[in-house]
Amino acid sequence: MKGADNLTVYTFNTKVAKHTFCKTCGVQSFYTPRSNPDGYGVIAHCLDEGTVNSITIEEFNGKNWEKSMKEHKTIQNLSKS
């Protein structure tokens, strides 16, 4: 599926982060992170096979989001457009 007409956006709290879902199946395909509202986070399982050669995993304590963002400067730069 493709096209913006098939997507819906969910926001909460500060309304800066935008979680984008497929209207047909409900899968979250990507999001606009609160840390980088000018960038996108792409959900890897929504990419075509062969699109990504490797993935680096960086642990992040989402329960303490503000503190974690200060400690993990690299995360802020990963989704910059």
Domain count, the chain: 1
pTM (predicted TM-score): 0.63
Q: What is the pLDDT of residues 23-49, one digit of tens each?
A: 999 999 888 888 778 878 888 888 888
Query: 68 with 62: CB under 8 angstroms?
Result: yes
CATH number at residue 14: 2.170.150.70
Confidence of residue 81 (pLDDT cuts 50, 70, 90): very low
Domain range enclosing 67? 4-78
**CA distance between the termini of the chain:** 24
Give DSSP secondary structure letters for 51-68. Answer: S-S--------GGGHHHH
In a 3-state reduction of DSSP, which class is residue 44? Answer: helix
